[in-house]
Amino acid sequence: MDKLSQPITRLQPEYDVVIIGSGYGGSIAASRFSRAGLKVCLLEKGKEFQPGDYPSTMAEATKEMQINADQREAKKNGLYDLHISKNISVFKGCGLGGTSLVNANVSIKPEERVFHDECWPEAIRNHREGLDEGYERAREMLKPMPYPVNVNGYPELSKAKAMQKSAEKNQQPFQYADINVCFETGINHVGVQQHKCINCGDCVTGCNHHAKNTLIMNYLPDAVNHGTEIFCNINVEYAEQVAGKWVVYFDVLNTSREDFKAPYLFVRATTVIISGGALGSTEILLRSKQKGLEVSKKLGKHFTGNGDVLGFAYNCEDEINGIGLGKLANEDRYKPIGPVGPCITTIIDLRNQEKLEDGMTLEEGSIPGPVANAINMSMLSLSGTIGVDTDGGFSDWMKECQEEAESLIRGPYHGATNKTQTFLVMTHDDGKGEMNLKDGKLNIDWPDVGKQPIFKKVSNTMLKATAALGGKYIKSVAWNKLMDFQLITVHPLGGCSMADNATDGVTNDIGNVYFGNNGTLTHPGLYVLDGAIIPRPLGTNPLFTISALTERACKIILERMNLQTSYDFPKVMAKTFQPKPTVQFTETMRGYFSKDEKEDFEIGYRQGKENCSPFMFTLTIQAVDINMFVTDPGHTGYMAGSVIAPALSDKPLTISNGVFNLFVKEEDTNHKKMKYQMQLNTYDGRQYFFCGYKKVEDDAGFDMWKDTTILYITVFDGKNNTAAILGKGVLKIIPIDFATQMGTIKALNTNNKLESLMAIKSFSTFFSSNIVDTYFSKFFGND
d(CA 480, CA 482): 6
Share of residues in the chain with pLDDT > 90 (%): 85
SS3 call for 21: coil
**What is the pLDDT at residue 664?**
86
Chain segment 262-272, per-residue pLDDT in tens: 999 999 999 99
Burial 189-210 (b: 16+ CB within 10 A, else e): bbbbebebbbbbbbbbbbbbbb
Asked which of 28-32, 291-295, 443-447, 477-481 is least confident by mean pLDDT, the reply is 477-481
- What is the mean pLDDT of the segment spanning 297-314? 97
pLDDT surpasses 80 at 779? no
Query: Comparing C-alpha atoms, which of 739, 783, 771 is closest to residue 259?
Result: 739
Query: Comparing C-alpha atoms, which of 462, 287, 265, 456 is closest to residue 361?
Result: 462
Phi, psi of 263 (to 5 degrees): -75, 165
**What is the pLDDT at residue 708?**
79
Chain segment 459-495, per-residue pLDDT in tens: 999 999 999 999 999 999 888 877 788 999 999 999 9
pLDDT surpasses 90 at 703? no
> How far, in Å, are 250, 262, 514, 758 from residue 266 at the CA level?
6, 13, 23, 34
> How far, in Å, are 115, 521, 575, 647, 660 from residue 125 at the CA level?
6, 21, 39, 54, 56
Sign of torsion over alpha carbons 254, 255, 261, 267: negative
d(CA 381, CA 370): 19
* Confidence band for 83, pLDDT divided at 50, 70 and 90: very high
Strands 636-644 and 614-623: antiparallel
pLDDT surpasses 90 at 780? no
d(CA 401, CA 387): 14
Chain segment 240-286, per-residue pLDDT in tens: 999 999 999 999 999 999 999 999 999 999 999 999 999 999 999 99
Q: Are 178 and 106 in contact (CB under 8 A)?
A: yes
Mean pLDDT of the chain: 93
d(CA 276, CA 234): 12
d(CA 162, CA 168): 10
Q: Are 487 and 309 in contact (CB under 8 A)?
A: yes
Asked which of 85-89, 101-105, 400-404, 759-763 is least confident by mean pLDDT, the reply is 400-404
- What is the mean pLDDT of the segment spanning 168-186? 97
pLDDT surpasses 60 at 776? no
* Confidence band for 768, pLDDT divided at 50, 70 and 90: confident
**What is the pLDDT at residue 543?**
98
Chain segment 350-361, per-residue pLDDT in tens: 999 999 999 999
**What is the pLDDT at residue 176?**
98
E strand residue ranges, 595-749: 614-623, 636-644, 653-665, 672-681, 687-696, 710-716, 725-732, 746-748
pLDDT surpasses 90 at 556? yes
* Confidence band for 327, pLDDT divided at 50, 70 and 90: confident
Q: Which residue has the higher pLDDT, 700 or 287?
A: 287
Sign of torsion over alpha carbons 522, 525, 526, 530: positive
Q: Are 435 and 303 in contact (CB under 8 A)?
A: yes
d(CA 365, CA 362): 10
d(CA 421, CA 367): 9
**What is the pLDDT at residue 410?**
93
Phi, psi of 75 (to 5 degrees): -105, 30
Asked which of 45-59, 201-215, 559-573, 701-715 is least confident by mean pLDDT, the reply is 701-715
* pTM for the full predicted model: 0.95
d(CA 102, CA 92): 8
* Confidence band for 773, pLDDT divided at 50, 70 and 90: low
**What is the pLDDT at residue 75?**
63
